[in-house]
Structure 1
Amino acid sequence: MTSKEYCIVITTFTDDRNGQQIIDALLAERLAACVQVLPIQSFYHWQGKVNCDAEKLVLIKTKCSLYAQVQQTILSHHAYEVPEIIQVPITDGLPAYLNWISKECRAQN
């Protein structure tokens, strides 16, 4: 097992109910070992205007082999027209923690 097998997937949401649907689906399908939610303030360009929204930043701990399924699950539940879905590789980590991610996430189909 190498740390290059693992990643964090980042997304955001504004509606708590929608966010909980995404989180519940990821955990129910065992696509994530852990999902963390942090309050943030986002400033961005959208449809020709600068916007500012109170959002929740979601950090999804998973295996790289599951990224496509994580992305599809987020897309199928997300309320945004174009949600942020970004994969960030984990280049190193505590072996026991990485092993835990491996045990909690299902094997790639």
Structure 2
Amino acid sequence: MTLLAVFTTVATREQADALARAAVEHRLATCVQVEAIHSTYRWQGEVVSEPELRLMFKTDAPRYAALEALLRQQHPYELPAIFALPVAQASTDYAAWVSTELR
């Protein structure tokens, strides 16, 4: 099983909670962690600097497409950053838990 850490950002806690709950309820992620960050980026020709919340969805490769579709459908941003990084290593017990919870 290939574990993935999938990331996106939102502006508010309510938005973060809604995406996290939807992903876990649909068994597209076993857990979603939310942390406060500060982002600086260029958007529509202007440099923007503002607080955001970063979400990390813990999932596996077979569920990525469905998770991405759910995030695109429910995400409040016009162009959300959605990307996945493979987990190089994970403890056997943790990987088994992820597999069980995604079924």
TM over 0.5: yes
> Does 1:9 pair with 2:23?
no
Q: 1:10–1:86: 8 Å Cα contact kept in structure 2? A: yes
CA RMSD, Structure 1 to Structure 2 (Å) = 0.9
Corresponding position of 2:94? 97
Structure 2 residue aligned with 1:87, among 84, 93, 99?
84
Corresponding position of 1:34? 31
Q: 1:6–1:63: 8 Å Cα contact kept in structure 2? A: yes
Question: What is the aligned length?
Answer: 103
* Structure 2 unaligned blocks of 5 or more: none
Deviations 1:55-85 (A, max 9, x none): 0010110011100011011111111000010
| Runs of 4+, deviation exceeding 2 Å | none
Report the Cα offset of residue 16 of structure 1: 1.9
Q: What SS does the aligned partner of 1:93 have?
A: coil
TM-score, structure 2 normalization: 0.95
Deviations 1:9-46 (A, max 9, x none): 00110022222111111011011111000100000011
* Structure 1 unaligned blocks of 5 or more: none
Superposed counterparts of 1:22-61, under 5 Å: 22-61=19-58
TM-score, structure 1 normalization: 0.90
Kindly provide the amino acid, as one letter, of the partner of residue 73 in structure 2.
S
Q: 2:7–2:81: 8 Å Cα contact kept in structure 1? A: yes
Q: 2:16–2:34: 8 Å Cα contact kept in structure 1? A: no
